[in-house]
Structure 1
Amino acid sequence: MAIRIKSHWWNEASNRTLPEIASALAFISWRIALDKAINLHCERFVYADDAQRLGVIREYLAFLIQVADRLAHGRFADDARRVLITSLVRNVIAHCQDNSQDLLGPGDYGSPFVDLLNRRSADYAQYQLDQDGPSYAFLRHLGFEIQNLMGAGQENRWVIDQVMDKDGWDAYKSFAKAFRDLFD
């Protein structure tokens, strides 16, 4: 299932600030992560509940934030990159908080996401992402974390392969294209 990502500005003549672009990237990240979580269900993988589905979405969001940071690395000076990624993370946290609260009820859902993001940042730092995209190990780690979340029962046994071979790669391609489009 493919989603349509709007990654061009309505008024292209207008200059955008990095926080404005980060806000658009956060929304795009949420849409991509949600689409990939839905796709797993469409491929007959089984979620125990909405909390588990949100966990998968958060894993994709952590992955896409790492991708954004790598894409920004060669394109911006350190200060601009910091502004972009910090704004992106803040907006993603707001999406996580709002959507988690809608599904699971009142609570602090932002702080656990920050903790997850800090752990994943250390994990993904070991892996390569170059002009051709994420390395096999980069995608494998995403698949591994999602498999851990969903369990290795008979119905979810091959989720790691689905994420590594198709969904993770598709998420990267969609996000990288949107990232480039928003800056061009």
Structure 2
Amino acid sequence: MAIRIKSHWKDEARDRSLPEVASALAFIAWRVALDKAINLHCERFVYRDDAQRLGVIQEYLAFLIQVADRLSHGMIDDDERRTLVTEFAKKVFAHVQDNTQDLLGPGDYGSPFIALLNERSGEYAEYSFADDGPSYAMLRHLGFEIQTLMGGGQENRWVIDQVMDKDGWDAYKSFAKAFRDLFE
């Protein structure tokens, strides 16, 4: 399933601030992560409930934040990179809080996401990322975390393969294209 992502600015002549780019990236990342969570369901993997589905979306979001950090390396200077990734994470935090609250009711959903992001940042730092994208090991880690979250029952036993071989790579490609487009 392919989603259409708007990744070009309406007024291309106007310069955009890093927070503006980060806001657009957060919206795109949310759409990509949601699409991949839906795709797992379409591939007949089973979610226990909405909270588990939101957990999968958050795993994809943590992965995409790492992708943004890696893509921005060498593209912009370190201070700008730090600003971009921080603003991006803040905007994703707001998406997580708002959307989870809409589905699950009032509560603090953003703070656990930040804890997850901090944990995954340390883990993903161990994996390589080349010009052509994340290493197979990085995608395997994403798949492992999603399979752990979804459970290893009979219906979900191959979710790691789906994420490693298809969905994780597709999420990277969609997001990386949009990322580059926003900086053109």
Report 1:14-53 matches (<5 A). 14-53=14-53
Q: Tell whether 2:110 aligns with 1:130.
A: no
Identity %: 79
> Secondary structure, in 3 states, of the residue corresponding to 1:58?
helix
Give the aligned partner of residue 101 of structure 1.
101
> Secondary structure, in 3 states, of the residue corresponding to 2:10?
coil
CA distance in 1, matches of 2:131, 2:5: 21
Give the aligned partner of residue 116 of structure 1.
116
Provide the TM-score with structure 2 as the length reference. 0.99
Tell me how large the CA RMSD over aligned residues is: 0.4
Give the number of aligned pairs: 184
Give the aligned partner of residue 5 of structure 1.
5
Give the aligned partner of residue 73 of structure 2.
73
Deviations for 1:100-147, whole angstroms, at most 9, x for unmatched residues? 000000000010000000000000000011101110100000000000
Q: CA deviation at 1:74?
A: 1.2
Q: Tell whether 2:74 aligns with 1:61.
A: no
CA distance in 2, matches of 1:153, 1:74: 42
Amino acid at match of 1:172: Y
Provide the TM-score with structure 1 as the length reference. 0.99
> Secondary structure, in 3 states, of the residue corresponding to 1:74?
coil
CA distance in 1, matches of 2:81, 2:142: 23
> Secondary structure, in 3 states, of the residue corresponding to 1:44?
coil
Give the aligned partner of residue 164 of structure 1.
164
Q: CA deviation at 1:157?
A: 0.4
Amino acid at match of 1:90: K
Q: CA deviation at 1:21?
A: 0.3
Q: CA deviation at 1:73?
A: 1.1
Q: CA deviation at 1:171?
A: 0.2
Deviations for 1:33-62, whole angstroms, at most 9, x for unmatched residues? 000000000000000000000000000000
CA distance in 1, matches of 2:2, 2:42: 12
What stretches of structure 1 of length at least 5 have no aligned partner?
none
CA distance in 1, matches of 2:10, 2:42: 33
